[in-house]
Amino acid sequence: AVVFRGKPISLAELNAFLDARGASQHARPDVLAPLPSLPATAVGKVDKKQLVARLTR
């Protein structure tokens, strides 16, 4: 997961970027879910449980 600031990127643009750098097909995402920020735990790590909850709503 990466947080981008500025212009949003489309799934097609991301896959074209990865293709240009030789990324294998299985390493490319099938879905792109833009979020304003990543939820964090008290120690600053990504809170995976909250992230999954946000994406499955």
Tens-place pLDDT, residues 5-27: 678 889 999 999 999 999 999 98
**Residue 35 resides in a domain:** yes
How many Å apart are CA 51 and CA 5, to the nearest integer?
19
Q: How confident is the model at residue 42 (pLDDT cuts 50, 70, 90)?
A: very high
**Residue 5 resides in a domain:** no
**Residue 15 resides in a domain:** yes
Rounded alpha-carbon distances, angstroms, from residue 28 to 2, 23, 43: 14, 7, 30
Question: How many helices (DSSP H) and strands (DSSP E) are in the chain?
Answer: 2, 0
How many Å apart are CA 32 and CA 44, to the nearest integer?
23
54/42: higher pLDDT: 42
Structural domains counted in the chain: 1
DSSP state, residue 6: S
At 42 the three-state DSSP class reads coil
Beta bridge partner(s), residue 46: 40
